[in-house]
Structure 1
Amino acid sequence: MSTSYRATPATPDSRRGDLILFMAIAFVVSWASWFTAVGLGGSATSAPTAAPYLFGAFGPLIGALVIRVRRARRGEPAPEHAVPFRRKSLLWAPLMLVVASATVLSAALLAHAAGGPALSLDVAKDAVEDVGGPAAFLVGMVISGPLSEEPGWRGTAYPRMRASMGRFQVGLVLGVIWAVWHLPLFFIDGTVQNELGLATPSGVLFAVSTIPMAMLTAYAYERAGVLASIAVHFATNTTMVLLDVKEPVTQSLIIGIQGIVAVLLLATARPASKPAATALPTADGNPAPRADHTVRV
């Protein structure tokens, strides 16, 4: 006897349930790890604090993997606004990397022209040497932040939130959630957030900066998927570390420039296309629609 294996369409309840579960996993895994690091004391770059500190960054990725498995077991197609991996991603990712890095570099140059700190190659060299050289630096910058977060925030949360919100609304809401998720890092010695300080202008600006970043990575995601959003995240973080961006004036300019660029890009972007349909056989031999399962989350 032949049996049908028609894909089950996603419902608002299942999308909402996935989103809530993802947020719960992301926050529980990350905050439990980071507050363990706080309790252990010491620096984030030395044992035993380093282990829970590093593991905490993977909360969003773990949440994304859980939701991906859960969706597959239900036989549901990918969310409407999920972006499958395509070859054009290999072209868009480097382009978005340049755009994101340029927003930070231009802000640093403007800040210097206004009397702020000068750009220094020595600072960049020290940042690279402190972690063991160029290879270790690049690997660390890719894994810590871009790779550990983007499959979750953009690849999982974003398309489910877009089902009921506009681009700018998702950027605002997800940006605020992203800022709150980072809060424990302010209490771990050796982190960038701890150096900035929570109750300082720099700390507040760091929190605010997650909103334009959420919008810029969202644009990259809608254009070419998670790979492009990883490129934006990586370029922004890396350029800020190499330029040692900590001054409130420079931070403010980065927020302003990224905000303008993100708004212009999102305002002119075409809506994300729906997943392509394919056919699956059913019990009566007729084809049944199925969404493109090349989407990863």
Structure 2
Amino acid sequence: MVIAFGVSWACWGTAIGLGGPATPGTPTYTPFLLGAFGPLAGALVIRIRRKRRGEPVPAHAVRFHPAALLQAPLLMLAASGAVLAAAALGHAAGDTTLSWSDAQDVMKDMGGPAAFLVSMIISGPLSEEPGWRGTAYPRMRATMGRFQIALILGVIWAVWHLPLFFIDGTVQSDLGLATPSGVLFAVGNIPMAMLVTCAYERAGILASIAVHFAVNTTMVLLNVHTPATQALITGCQILLITLLLLTGRRTQDTAKL
């Protein structure tokens, strides 16, 4: 945690000091992007130390298995579907307008669809999940339940994101810190932590990366920023979490039989 926060906040502090928007081609963009790799840096240090000391892999670590190649895309679609369902409900209630042209503008600002997708998978899913789920979660699971871990990691996750509210051009900056949208973003880290945890338990780090990517990308493309739609997304995610937990237990019980 010290390494994750130290690396991330040092980079983001530099971005704040430089000023300007965190968009490709600006001086602020590089430290902004590097800051996302704090959790990955912490995970690598822990893994290297574990191997040097000859310590075993934590009991609750989920190893890669071929089934993950099938489950990860399905979980990704389910996670994206939850966001889309919430946005559709919000649109039906008159809260937000869904526009493909807005999504195209977002991708254009990021350098095109390919650059946008690469940025979305690197800055967030790939740079964070090996740390939060792949390293912290298995070690915490040895003494805590998954709901307790989701609450703790969700709060840690929200605090970790704090400097991003002060960097122009970020999603967090657009939401605003002392606003209902900013508060809902922070609160939403808890169900999001539980959702990616469910994915990790089912199919390992590949699945948690896929789910994290799906949620982030869908929300950015839909330009989700209103409190009502954010609350609907949290509700839909809780429903999806419940479904994953119920079917997960059923699968485990069947395996035992």
Place the TM-score, normalised by the shorter chain, in its bin.
Answer: over 0.9
Partner of 1:180 in structure 2? 159
Cα drift, residue 269 of structure 1: 2.6
The 2-side partners of 1:247 and 1:80 are apart by 41
Partner of 2:17 in structure 1? 39
1:237 and 2:225 aligned: no
Change (3 A) 1:133 1:238: same
1:113 and 2:92 aligned: yes
After superposition, the C-alpha distances for 1:101-155 in whole angstroms (9 at most, x for unaligned) are: 0110000000011111221111111111111111111111110100000000000
Structure 1 length-normalised TM: 0.82
The 2-side partners of 1:205 and 1:88 are apart by 34
Cα drift, residue 268 of structure 1: 4.7
The 2-side partners of 1:33 and 1:102 are apart by 33
- Residue identity over aligned pairs, in percent, reads 70
One-letter code aligned to 1:167: R
Q: Say what the alpha-carbon RMSD is for the aligned residues.
A: 1.5
Alignment of 1:97-176 (within 5 A): 97-176=76-155
After superposition, the C-alpha distances for 1:43-74 in whole angstroms (9 at most, x for unaligned) are: 11253211211110000001111111011111
Residue in structure 2 matching 1:269, options 225, 228, 248: 248
The 1-side partners of 2:207 and 2:41 are apart by 20
Change (3 A) 1:81 1:272: farther
SS at match of 2:20: coil
1:253 and 2:232 aligned: yes
The 1-side partners of 2:158 and 2:245 are apart by 21
Partner of 2:185 in structure 1? 206
SS at match of 1:269: helix
The 2-side partners of 1:31 and 1:268 are apart by 38
Gaps of 5+ in 2: 253-257
The 2-side partners of 1:47 and 1:272 are apart by 49
Alignment of 1:5-24 (within 5 A): 23-24=1-2
Residue in structure 1 matching 2:27, options 24, 45, 48: 48
Partner of 1:28 in structure 2? 6
After superposition, the C-alpha distances for 1:147-183 in whole angstroms (9 at most, x for unaligned) are: 0000000000111111111111111111111000000
Structure 2 length-normalised TM: 0.94
SS at match of 1:70: helix
SS at match of 1:225: helix
Gaps of 5+ in 1: 1-22, 274-297
Note if contact 2:96-2:229 (Cα within 8 Å) is conserved in structure 1.
no
Cα drift, residue 271 of structure 1: 11
Change (3 A) 1:36 1:271: farther
Note if contact 1:167-1:266 (Cα within 8 Å) is conserved in structure 2.
no
Change (3 A) 1:180 1:267: farther
Cα drift, residue 42 of structure 1: 1.3
After superposition, the C-alpha distances for 1:203-240 in whole angstroms (9 at most, x for unaligned) are: 00110111111000000000110000000000000100
The 2-side partners of 1:175 and 1:272 are apart by 26
The 1-side partners of 2:63 and 2:76 are apart by 19
1:61 and 2:40 aligned: yes
The 1-side partners of 2:185 and 2:234 are apart by 9
Note if contact 1:222-1:272 (Cα within 8 Å) is conserved in structure 2.
no
After superposition, the C-alpha distances for 1:242-296 in whole angstroms (9 at most, x for unaligned) are: 11101111000001111222134235534999xxxxxxxxxxxxxxxxxxxxxxx
1:79 and 2:52 aligned: no
The 1-side partners of 2:27 and 2:97 are apart by 36
The structure whose Rg is larger is 1
After superposition, the C-alpha distances for 1:16-56 in whole angstroms (9 at most, x for unaligned) are: xxxxxxx0100000011111111111111253211211110
Change (3 A) 1:172 1:272: farther
More helix by share: 2
Q: In the comparison of the two structures, how many residue pairs are matched?
A: 251
